[in-house]
Structure formats: C-alpha cells, structure tokens
Structure 1
Amino acid sequence: MKLFKLLILISILSLQSCKTRSSKINGVSFVASRDAVNESHINPVVKVNANYAAIMPFGFIKNLEHPEIIHNTDRQWFGETKAGAEQYIDELRKKKIKIMIKPQIWVWRGEFTGFIEMTNEADWKILEDSYSKFILEYAELAHTVKAELFCIGTELEKFIENRPEYWFALIKKIRTKYKGELTYAANWDEFKRTPFWTDLDYIGVDAYFPVSDSKTPTVEESLEGWKIHKPVIYKMFQKHDKPVLFTEYGYRSVDYSGKTPWISDRSMNQVNLEAQTNTTQALFETFWEEDWFAGGFIWKWFHKHDKVGGKENFMFTPQNKPAEALLRKQYKITNE
C-alpha cells in the first residue's frame, strides 16, 4: 500500500514538472494604434495561440537630454493613452488573454532610449520626477485591471547606470501600488549590467542578439549563433535565481535578419521570409523547452490583422507570413 501511494506521488510530481516545463508566456507585443479595438481585432491573437499580450502605452521626450516626459494627452494615439490601454485590456480579457503592461518612452526622431542621459543634477531630478509620475500612473492601472505582469521600463541603460539608487527606490514605490509580478525590459547588450534583478520577479531581455551573418540564415547556423549567448543568459538566471523572460523577441523578414536584429531601418528592404522563419525557429528550439526560461513576447502584433504583414512586408511582424504559422504551432505546443 505504501509503495502504491509512493508511486502515485511520484506520478503527480512528474506531471507537475512536465507542466512547469511546457507552460510558457506565449506573448504578442500588441501595438498601440489610433483606434479602439474589438473582438475582430483580438480573435487573431487567440488563433495564434497566444496566452499573453504586452500593452504598451507611451510617453514622449523631445530629445536625449530633455528631462520631461509627456504622456496621456489628447495629442497621442488612443492606444498610447491610459484610456486606450484599459480599453485594449478589457477586450483581451474577454478572450482570456493575460496582460503585461509595458509603458515605453519614444524619443523624437526615434533616437535610442538607452542613451537618455542628463547633463546636470537639476535635470536628473526633473527626469526622475517625470518618470515616476509616468510609471506610477501605469502601475496603478496595472493594479486596477489586475494585470499579471508589469514592466517598469524599457531599454533605459544610461538612466539606470547614472541613477541606480533612484531605480531601487522606484521599485519599492511601484510595489506599494501594484502587487503583481515585475520585470524590466533590458536591451540584449544591457541585461548583464542591470543592477536590480534581485528586486524583480523576472530577468527581462529584449532579445535582439546577433546569431548569423548569412543573407539567409539556416536554422542550424542560427542555433550555432545562440551558443555564444545562451550560456551568458543562463548564468544570469543562476546568479539571481530569477526566470528569464524575453520581453521582446523577433526578426525582420529581410536579408541578413540574424546579423543586426535590432535594426528597423527601412533602407533594409529586401524581403526574405525564409530568413525570418529560420531565425525564429532557432530561437524557439534554443529556449522554449528550458525550465528556467519563462517565455516571451514577439515583436510586433498589429490590431488590423488582415491589413498588415504579408509576403511583401520586410518588417518585424510575423502576421500573414510563414512565421505566423510557426508561431501558432510553437505556442500551441507550450500553452497550458
């Protein structure tokens, strides 16, 4: 009898272990638009077997040295505002899609947010006050809508490097507003230096790692390219004992997609659907079965599914491309 009970217990633990390995955050980065959304815009998210969506309201800065963040104004697109974010979340919830709220900053002309850096103490204080107002407003929204996950910032390395004490204090303030799980979206070449992983729930990485110099990377070449980066990522998991989450991942459907995956320059416009599919497949094979890997949010997903992407599109979205079928298959395998 004791042996029978022991075998039952082992079976239960084994099933739980399998579930832990297979269950992932299978997310899409749901793009903020001019419009409200409805069921017709959410159904394609369901059909691709996503179980999470990142909702991304925006704040705006004039330039890299400007300390004030403008946000939640009537001059922004609806989806970039608090009201828009809440409306998107309401519609996604109707389809049982879980939510990460991921407020982001846009610098005029699209300059890289990681280079935001003030030149004097007075401006640093203004920036800190402005960022706190911005991020805490959305932390309160995350509490109100019961978002499963909240991202405290995206690719802000110089801000963090110069003002680490501010960020540690900010995390404490956020936790007084919102009781769910926290992450930060570090750039692929930044996450090793981010100082506050221990205070968060996930090590968040925008995973635009270079994996191949080939015009059309094969799956095998891309798998080989990941052998440089994967041990570094795993080491961070070991150091902080926090699961790794790809807060953004994806490749453009363009020649040399695996060489500099972070670049969105429209001068790179030679469509290569195979390159996108192969690099994405290699990423899935490298990470999605790892216990320490939590999942990720593909970059990026537009609400008007029937009007975006397609065989002539050279940008990131997988929509209406072979990469979408790959995504659907992968997400089905690793859903709960």
Structure 2
Amino acid sequence: MKTKKILFLLLISLQLSCNSQTQKINGVSFVASRDSINSKHINPVKRAQSNYVALMPYSFIRNIETPKIEFNTNREWFGETKNGLLQYAKEFQEVNIKIMIKPHLWLRRGGYTGDLKPSSEENWKILENSYKAYILTYAKAAQAINADVLCIGTELEQFVANRPSYWLDLIKEIRKVYKGKLTYAANWDEYKRVSFWADLDFIGIDAYFPVSDKKTPTVEEFELGWQAHKTEIKGIQKKFNKPVLFTEFGYRSVDYAGKKPWKSNRVIDNVNLQVQVNGLQAIHNQFWQEDWFAGGFIWKWFHRHDKVGGKKNNRFTPQNKPAEELLRRLYHQK
C-alpha cells in the first residue's frame, strides 16, 4: 500500500512538472505575407511544437520629418493589415495555437526605429496621436479575437525614453479596450531603461545579446557568454516582479552569429548551420527551466514552409535546417 502511495505521489509530481513546462510560451514570429493562410501554412508550425505565434501588423512612416504613422492601408500586404491579422488569428486559434499581436513600425526611408525622435513638439504630437490610433486599433482587434498577449510597441527606445508620461497614459487607454496581458518588445540594449515595466504583465526583450566572438561557439561557450546578461535580466525581473518574455530571439546560420546577433545584412557564401543550433540550444538551457521566464518567440517563420530556409540559407529562419529539428525537440520537452 505504501509503495502505491509513493508511486501515486510521483505521478502527481511529474504531471505538475509537465504542466509547468507546457505553460511556457514556445512561440514563432510568423511573418505576414501578401496571401491569406490555411492549414497548409499552419501545419509546419504545429509540427514545430509551437503553442504560440506572434502576428505582426505593420505600420510605416513615409517622412521622418513629419512622422505620421500610416497603417491598415491597401499599400500593405494582406497579412500586415487588420483583416489579415484577423484571418491569420482565426486559422491558428482553430488548432489551439495562441496569439500574441506584436505591431511593428517601419521607416520607409531607412533607419532604426529605436532612434525615432522628432525634432519639435509639433512633430512629437503627430507621432503620438498617430501611434495611439494605430495601437488602439490593434488593441480592439486583440480583444475581439481574445488574443492572449498584446505587445504595445517594438524597439522604440527614444520614443519611450523621451515621452514617459505618454506611454503611461497610453497603457491606461489600452487597458480600457483590451483585457489580456501586455508587454513591450525592448531591444536587448534598451530593456534596463524602460520606465513602465510595473504597468505591464511581461518584461519583453528582443534578446539579441552579444555572447561570443568565436566563429562557431560550442553550446557551453554560448552559455558562458549568457551569464552576465542573465544576471542583469534577473535583476530587472526581481525589481519589477514580472516574468520575462523573449519577444524575439534567435540566431542566423552564419559564422560569428553570436558576436552581433542583431545583424541582418546579407552575407554571401557563408552558411554555418551548427552555430545556429548551438545558440538555440544554449538559450533553451539557460532560460526555459527558470520559473521567472515565460518563454519566447523565435525569429522568424515564413508561411511558405516549402519555399524558405534550407541548408544553403544563412538567414534567421530555422525552417528546413537542423535548427528546425532542434526546435521541435526543445519545444516538445516536458
């Protein structure tokens, strides 16, 4: 009888452990396309054992001098619009894949969104008013589809740093129309200075931290490179007592991918599939077992699975590479 009781308690313990692990956000950043999607496009995401997708409606600024944000126009691809978002979300939710809506801003004439800083009060107001209209549109859409998470912005360091009261007011306005969880996608070198983490549900980080100068770091070398960053992340997590979410993470399959992981410039004739595998394994080893870590969204995943990635591709996608098989195993772990 005593033996049966011990076995029963062990089974309960294992079940609780499994439930804890499956609660992690095992996500992919699903790239918007010009097309609608169906089960053919969703099945590879399911095979990757993902339980979340980040859907990314885009907006853009034509002229940085007068930074009015335009969005949901007929000049965008279908998947970047509100109707596209709704169609994508419906298809994923039908197979029990959860949704994070993660709006992105694009500067049409180039430049980094984190540097967006209007030159006058008049232009600040143009930016603020149009951004509010943009985010509230997708906050209402998030509520309509019962999205699990809404990301209120992506890599907007100067906007966030220079207009703190605007962001606090905006969060209040968002919460009036959307009842789910909120985050913000801070760049890896920005997250420690974000002033409103206490008002959100997740500390969101686009986790492109420099971790190694080596051509092909081993898993152990990648993990060693994470130690100082992880300590700082834990410090911010403890300060605000909020779970950390990697709103983006990943590596290119290219030499020296751990040196400046954010670099997306094209590199010709340089493919390193192993460095991508080692980097992803190291992130999972370092973070996925931590209670304070909510999970993350790998960058990035395209809808035409049969047409992207592969062993000659050195971009971020893990599709049709050894990294995809690794991701399937990691996301499936209990």
TM-score bucket (shorter structure)? over 0.9
- Residue 18 of structure 1 and its aligned partner are, at CA, apart by 5.7
Residues 112/138 of structure 1: CA separation in 2 closer, same or farther (3 Å cut): same
Percent identity between the aligned chains? 60
The one-letter amino acid paired with 1:45 is V
Q: Residue 131 of structure 1 aligns with which residue?
A: 131
Q: Residue 41 of structure 1 aligns with which residue?
A: 41
- Residue 66 of structure 1 and its aligned partner are, at CA, apart by 3.5
1:22–1:289 Cα contact (<8 Å) kept: no
Which segment drifts farther, 262-271 or 18-27? 18-27
The answer to whether 1:299 aligns with 2:326 is no
Q: Residue 142 of structure 1 aligns with which residue?
A: 142
- Residue 10 of structure 1 and its aligned partner are, at CA, apart by 10
Alpha-carbon distance in 1 for matches of 2:232, 2:15? 30
Q: Residue 24 of structure 1 aligns with which residue?
A: 24
Alpha-carbon distance in 2 for matches of 1:311, 1:14? 38
* Per-residue deviation, residues 25-70 of structure 1 (Å, max 9, x unmatched): 0000000011111110000000000000000000001254432011
- Residue 107 of structure 1 and its aligned partner are, at CA, apart by 0.9
Alpha-carbon distance in 2 for matches of 1:39, 1:15? 31
Q: Residue 173 of structure 1 aligns with which residue?
A: 173
Residues 295/214 of structure 1: CA separation in 2 closer, same or farther (3 Å cut): same
The one-letter amino acid paired with 1:166 is Y
Q: Residue 70 of structure 2 aligns with which residue?
A: 70
Alpha-carbon distance in 1 for matches of 2:123, 2:36? 36
Q: Which runs of 5+ in 1 are unaligned?
A: none
Residues 303/14 of structure 1: CA separation in 2 closer, same or farther (3 Å cut): closer
Alpha-carbon distance in 2 for matches of 1:35, 1:307? 14
Residues 268/260 of structure 1: CA separation in 2 closer, same or farther (3 Å cut): farther
Q: Which runs of 5+ in 2 are unaligned?
A: none
1:65–1:116 Cα contact (<8 Å) kept: no
Q: Secondary structure at the match of 1:29?
A: strand
1:277–1:326 Cα contact (<8 Å) kept: yes
Alpha-carbon distance in 2 for matches of 1:35, 1:22? 31
Residues 121/109 of structure 1: CA separation in 2 closer, same or farther (3 Å cut): closer
Q: Residue 159 of structure 2 aligns with which residue?
A: 159
The one-letter amino acid paired with 1:169 is D
- Residue 110 of structure 1 and its aligned partner are, at CA, apart by 4.0
Q: Secondary structure at the match of 2:152?
A: strand
- Residue 20 of structure 1 and its aligned partner are, at CA, apart by 2.5
1:309–1:319 Cα contact (<8 Å) kept: yes
Q: Residue 273 of structure 2 aligns with which residue?
A: 273
- Residue 93 of structure 1 and its aligned partner are, at CA, apart by 1.0
Q: Secondary structure at the match of 1:232?
A: helix
* Per-residue deviation, residues 93-112 of structure 1 (Å, max 9, x unmatched): 11110000001101124421
Residues 42/14 of structure 1: CA separation in 2 closer, same or farther (3 Å cut): closer
Alpha-carbon distance in 2 for matches of 1:181, 1:168? 16
* Per-residue deviation, residues 133-176 of structure 1 (Å, max 9, x unmatched): 00000000000000000000000010011100000000000000
Q: Residue 325 of structure 2 aligns with which residue?
A: 325
Q: Secondary structure at the match of 1:184?
A: strand
Q: Secondary structure at the match of 2:29?
A: strand
Instruction: Give the TM-score taking structure 1 as reference length.
Output: 0.94
Query: Which contiguous aligned blocks of 4+ residues in structure 1 show a shift greater than 4 angstroms?
Result: 7-15
Which segment drifts farther, 61-70 or 185-194? 61-70
Alpha-carbon distance in 2 for matches of 1:56, 1:134? 13
Residues 302/18 of structure 1: CA separation in 2 closer, same or farther (3 Å cut): closer
1:64–1:111 Cα contact (<8 Å) kept: no
2:255–2:272 Cα contact (<8 Å) kept: yes
Q: Residue 106 of structure 1 aligns with which residue?
A: 106
Alpha-carbon distance in 2 for matches of 1:37, 1:55? 12
2:216–2:256 Cα contact (<8 Å) kept: yes
- Residue 19 of structure 1 and its aligned partner are, at CA, apart by 2.9
The answer to whether 1:61 aligns with 2:61 is yes
Within 5 A, what are the aligned runs for 1:133-282? 133-267=133-267, 270-282=270-282
1:254–1:269 Cα contact (<8 Å) kept: no
Q: Secondary structure at the match of 1:295?
A: strand
- Residue 23 of structure 1 and its aligned partner are, at CA, apart by 2.6
Which segment drifts farther, 110-119 or 149-158? 110-119
Q: Secondary structure at the match of 1:239?
A: helix
Which segment drifts farther, 16-25 or 310-319? 16-25
2:66–2:126 Cα contact (<8 Å) kept: no
Q: Secondary structure at the match of 1:131?
A: helix
The one-letter amino acid paired with 1:218 is T
Alpha-carbon distance in 2 for matches of 1:115, 1:268? 28
- Residue 84 of structure 1 and its aligned partner are, at CA, apart by 0.5
Which segment drifts farther, 63-72 or 240-249? 63-72
Alpha-carbon distance in 2 for matches of 1:47, 1:97? 12
Alpha-carbon distance in 2 for matches of 1:286, 1:68? 41
Q: Secondary structure at the match of 1:60?
A: strand
